[in-house]
Structure 1
Amino acid sequence: MTSRRVPPPLMDAVLVVVALLDVWVNVTPAEPFRLGFALAGASALALRRRMPLLVFLITLPAVALNDAIFAGLAALYTLASLSRRRILLVLCALAFTLCDMISLPSPVFDLTKPATLITLGYTAATAAAPVFLGQLVQTRRDLSLRLAEISEARDHERLLTTQTVLAKERAQLAREMHDVVSHQVSLIAVRAGALQVGTRDPEVRDAASTIRRLSVQTLDELRHMVSVLRASGGRPAELTPQPSLADLRRLVDGSGIEAELHTDLPSDENPPQPGTEPPGNGTCPEPTGGTREPDGLPPTVQRAIYRTVQEALTNVRKHAPGATATVRVRRDGGAVRVTVTNTAPTRPALPLPSAHYGLVGLRQRAELLGGTFDSGPTEDGGYALRLELPDQDLR
């Protein structure tokens, strides 16, 4: 069951009407000065979402001049639901209390009288109520956004886990077909060839030739199926058993955050479709399990780049909600430099448990490849990860 929310323009119109009714009840037309400020405060509620602080300041004179305080309370609630500055909210609540206590143009404010203290406490409680209610609504809104992000991240992670399991199962099936079935079919082809050469019976020779021909054809088809199994599942998934630079664009686009990729390294953006016939004589050579090397870049370096970008985007999603990220991959002399930066978060992040094992693993991977890795906050409140690797495979 989905909740039906009142459209914001309709809610603003209702508040303006209620504020005008409050003015009609508490302000007489014989007092045009007070009536003007009261009408200005009530009408300003139409702009409360775009300029909450200005609207609240406009309603204060009406609160100080007469008893029409509904517009001031509505403006204070709106400011509390949209602002995160606690000191400002406290000052606004005090200003509302003082304006409601005094009676302009002849202020009477005697704290020596018990009745004045009681009125002061009642007025302060009245001013504090919309502030607390607005902060509660703001917290509930932030929590709903974070729960939606966590749910989306969980679904995304479940999808990636499922795709990874499927990829591993395909790889295992391909390995079994290659190591067992292909080996047995190869033995059949060899024995049939030997029988074809060694026999003198024409019928046996013809049968052996047919068996050998079918065995060779079956072996070619098996090798083609092995290559298809090892390649399938990698195109729609971000996490493949052996990721490369060809998967980097899909990783950034599918990260769930606003991210840009800038790279001067070539990559295979159009890998062959699974199930298509390879060029040549129609036979499929045995796959080696390696990845394509753009411009001589080793597979281990490609995987290190992929894992670094993946971990960085995951951290942005978890710890910097609302931030945007920029991924830069470039080649400089004999090194490849990767920089992933993100802006400051626009919403507070929930305190999630983290042991920073991801960053530790990236640093260890970089050291094994003879490179360097560092990370830390930026001057504008964001975060940056930097990886530098030699473009030679040091395995």
Structure 2
Amino acid sequence: MSPRPSNRFVGAVVLAVAVAEGVLTTVAEEDPHGIVPIAIAVLALLVRERWPLPAFLATLPAVLFPGTIVPVIVALYVVSSRYRDSWLLTGCGLLASAGLVFPMSEFAPSIWDFHTLLGVIYSTMTALAPILLGQFLLSQRELALRLEEVKEAREHERRLDAEAILARERNQLAREMHDVVSHQVSLIAVQASALMVSTTDPDAKQAAGNVRQLSVNTLDELRHMVNLLRASGTPATELTPQPTLTDLERLIGNSAIDAQLVGTAPEGLEPPAQRAIYRTIQEALTNVRKHAPGASATVEISHDDTDLTVTVTNTRPTRPNLALPSAQHGLVGLHERAALLGGKLHTGPMPDGGFQLRLRLPITAAGIAHR
């Protein structure tokens, strides 16, 4: 992506100021040898966006001799706007402040020299300013990115809600069509069959056979239309058969986070138990994506003779997170699912800053088949 015109203009102004400072400093010092470190520092500014740390180091000699400060301040700002490492920023700030104070000290014999102490204070503040500005702009970019993610997540949830409402309406309409129309057509087919058996009139028998055949064809077409109605315009998770544990790999692979599955569930689980496990993992991964950006997750399934345990653990987030209000409906639904199967759901933070969700279901609970 090419830089915007405003960014190019700012870069050109920065270079112009650096060149002007270098020229004026060289003239004031009356030493033509100072043009070499100044030229290196100005050239380093041309690659500061691509290689911020090398560019910063290349500007330090110009601070010591002949004493230009614009390139090092600009390079220090770029480093601060790219990195969060406090040790790295502290080291760069100390190098910059040391380079700034060295020409001011005039080789003072004592560190307690009044002018040297003032130089230390001024240089430290000069080096601190671009670091703080860079960190502020870095936080602003991360916040804008996080807000965009939240906006996309809300839009995705809005679409899912609309699709869920549409799916319920379509399913209700399909059930009504199936229950009412198929019942009436089935009665017609039964009565036509009875007429075929009871009548001796060939024309009536043929007419009854035609009515019966048309009724059977109508029932077949009705079932086909009902299936199309249930499947039309709604997401696969709502209209295809309910998910099972065989779909876990696809769920984890499509979760948009770094997640892995450990362990397997026992064979013979009834569909309600499989749905509860699937929905629990789905909700946990969704919460990781929403509330722990950049975190990785581990989905562990284990069981013994009495209990089946599903644990979803995520690490601490690596990107800033916004404290958004939440009604906790997802977790409430998971608690209800667990309770219906005689199990329990536990959630809570981890000591390392992560979060853990644990579902425990008894093997012998209602809805779980014995092995």
TM-score class normalised by the smaller sequence: 0.7 to 0.9
Distance of 1:239 and 1:218 partners within structure 2: 24
Superposition deviation, residue 368 in structure 1: 3.1
Percent identity between the two aligned chains:
50
Superposition deviation, residue 144 in structure 1: 2.2
Structure 1 314/15 Cα, relative in aligned 2: closer, same or farther at 3 Å? Answer: same
Higher helix fraction: Structure 1 or Structure 2? 2
- Provide structure 1 residue ranges, at least 5 long, that are not aligned to the other structure: 266-293
Task: Report the secondary structure of 1:375's partner residue.
Answer: strand
Task: Report the secondary structure of 1:337's partner residue.
Answer: strand
Which residue number in structure 2 is paired with residue 291 of structure 1?
none
Which residue number in structure 1 is paired with residue 165 of structure 2?
165
Which residue number in structure 2 is paired with residue 141 of structure 1?
141
Distance of 2:138 and 2:276 partners within structure 1: 41
Q: For the Cα contact (< 8 Å) 1:330–1:337, is it kept in 2? A: yes
Q: What pairs up with 1:53-64 in 2 under 5 angstroms?
A: 56=56, 59-60=59-60, 62-64=62-64
Query: Structure 1 residue 201 and structure 2 residue 201: aligned?
Result: yes
Superposition deviation, residue 218 in structure 1: 2.0
The superposition leaves residues 300-327 of structure 1 with CA deviations (integer Å, 9 ceiling, x where unpaired) of: 1112112211211121111111223333
Q: For the Cα contact (< 8 Å) 2:166–2:234, is it kept in 1? A: no
Partner amino acid, structure 1, of 2:4: R
Distance of 1:200 and 1:138 partners within structure 2: 92
Task: Report the secondary structure of 1:103's partner residue.
Answer: helix
Structure 1 42/169 Cα, relative in aligned 2: closer, same or farther at 3 Å? Answer: same
Q: What pairs up with 1:199-238 in 2 under 5 angstroms?
A: 199-230=199-230, 236-237=236-237
Distance of 2:41 and 2:239 partners within structure 1: 57
Please report the TM-score for the alignment, with normalisation by the length of structure 2.
Answer: 0.76
Q: For the Cα contact (< 8 Å) 1:160–1:238, is it kept in 2? A: no
Query: Structure 1 residue 313 and structure 2 residue 285: aligned?
Result: yes
Task: Pick one of 294, 298, 305 that aligns with 1:326.
Answer: 298
Partner amino acid, structure 1, of 2:314: N
Structure 1 109/152 Cα, relative in aligned 2: closer, same or farther at 3 Å? Answer: farther
Query: Structure 1 residue 5 and structure 2 residue 4: aligned?
Result: yes
Structure 1 13/298 Cα, relative in aligned 2: closer, same or farther at 3 Å? Answer: farther
Distance of 1:298 and 1:58 partners within structure 2: 67
Query: Structure 1 residue 366 and structure 2 residue 338: aligned?
Result: yes
Superposition deviation, residue 164 in structure 1: 1.9
Q: For the Cα contact (< 8 Å) 1:323–1:342, is it kept in 2? A: yes
Task: Report the secondary structure of 2:325's partner residue.
Answer: coil
Which residue number in structure 2 is paired with residue 256 of structure 1?
256
The superposition leaves residues 340-364 of structure 1 with CA deviations (integer Å, 9 ceiling, x where unpaired) of: 2323322110111135443344234
Which residue number in structure 2 is paired with residue 286 of structure 1?
none
Task: Pick one of 346, 350, 355 that aligns with 2:318.
Answer: 346
Which residue number in structure 1 is paired with residue 183 of structure 2?
183
Superposition deviation, residue 296 in structure 1: 2.4
Q: For the Cα contact (< 8 Å) 1:341–1:385, is it kept in 2? A: yes
Distance of 1:116 and 1:92 partners within structure 2: 20
Q: For the Cα contact (< 8 Å) 2:48–2:75, is it kept in 1? A: yes
Distance of 2:106 and 2:83 partners within structure 1: 34
Superposition deviation, residue 240 in structure 1: 6.8
Partner amino acid, structure 1, of 2:317: P
The superposition leaves residues 17-47 of structure 1 with CA deviations (integer Å, 9 ceiling, x where unpaired) of: 9756644542379758866655555555567
Superposition deviation, residue 249 in structure 1: 4.1
The superposition leaves residues 226-265 of structure 1 with CA deviations (integer Å, 9 ceiling, x where unpaired) of: 4554566676347879443354444334433343445645
Distance of 2:127 and 2:109 partners within structure 1: 18
Distance of 1:116 and 1:39 partners within structure 2: 28
Q: What pairs up with 1:282-301 in 2 under 5 angstroms?
A: 295-301=267-273
The superposition leaves residues 115-170 of structure 1 with CA deviations (integer Å, 9 ceiling, x where unpaired) of: 99998887666545423432332122112211221232123223322332232223
Which residue number in structure 1 is paired with residue 73 of structure 2?
73
Partner amino acid, structure 2, of 1:27: T
Partner amino acid, structure 2, of 1:167: A
The superposition leaves residues 68-115 of structure 1 with CA deviations (integer Å, 9 ceiling, x where unpaired) of: 112211122113212335687578657645643552672469999999
Partner amino acid, structure 2, of 1:187: L
Structure 1 183/18 Cα, relative in aligned 2: closer, same or farther at 3 Å? Answer: same
Structure 1 147/46 Cα, relative in aligned 2: closer, same or farther at 3 Å? Answer: same
Count of residues paired in the alignment: 366
Partner amino acid, structure 2, of 1:346: T
Q: For the Cα contact (< 8 Å) 1:298–1:393, is it kept in 2? A: no
Structure 1 60/3 Cα, relative in aligned 2: closer, same or farther at 3 Å? Answer: closer
Structure 1 261/224 Cα, relative in aligned 2: closer, same or farther at 3 Å? Answer: farther
Distance of 1:306 and 1:51 partners within structure 2: 46
Structure 1 162/123 Cα, relative in aligned 2: closer, same or farther at 3 Å? Answer: same
Structure 1 299/214 Cα, relative in aligned 2: closer, same or farther at 3 Å? Answer: same
Q: For the Cα contact (< 8 Å) 2:64–2:99, is it kept in 1? A: yes
Task: Report the secondary structure of 1:82's partner residue.
Answer: coil
Superposition deviation, residue 182 in structure 1: 0.7
Q: For the Cα contact (< 8 Å) 2:297–2:313, is it kept in 1? A: yes
Q: What pairs up with 1:22-61 in 2 under 5 angstroms?
A: 22-27=21-26, 38=38, 41-42=41-42, 45=45, 48=48, 52=52, 56=56, 59-60=59-60
Superposition deviation, residue 15 in structure 1: 6.8
- Provide structure 2 residue ranges, at least 5 long, that are not aligned to the other structure: none
